[in-house]
Amino acid sequence: MSEIQVNQVNNEALKILKDDIECKTGFRIIKIEDGLAVSELELEEEHFNPYGIPYGGVLFTMADDTAGVAFISAGGVGVTVCGHVDYLRGSRDAQKLICTAKVLKAGRRIHYIDADIVNEKGLDLCRFKFTFINLD
């Protein structure tokens, strides 16, 4: 189901990162293109806070990891240096989260990436802005 179309240099790094994310977090990376990544998470009981809403930390981790895949697919080698989130609404009845991350600007050292998370009905849950630094 994954559509992977990236430069050959970062293919191995992307495969390792994709496998690591999927193994450790349960998020599935379902699409990777140059500067774009999409992930999804089937929600389980442990993903919800006592109010029945997915934990903010689950959402932030999903967005940061998906943004990292987009960063690497755009040729980056580095880490997140800044992340901002606007939680727009909770989703008590959510069964799946879908995150789309897109590189807005890929500079020599700094990459700017936006990420959005929606539920399976397409309802906007949160928006993120990330800054990554290229260490290469």
Residue pLDDT, tens place only, 58-103? 999 999 999 999 999 999 989 999 999 999 998 888 999 999 999 9
Which is more confidently placed, 44 or 21? 44
Residues forming beta bridges with residue 86, ordered by sequence position: 127
pLDDT band at 53 (very low <50, low <70, confident <90, very high): very high
The Cα–Cα gap between 131 and 78 comes to 11
Superfamily grouping for domain 3-134: Hotdog Thioesterase (3.10.129.10)
Going from N- to C-terminal start, the domains of the chain cover: 3-134
Q: Please, is 51 exposed, middle or buried when counting C-beta atoms within 10 Å of its C-beta (0-12, 13-18, 19+)?
A: exposed
Cα angle 66-115-35, degrees, rounded to a multiple of 5 = 65
- Range among 3-7, 23-27, 72-76, 85-89 with highest mean pLDDT value: 85-89
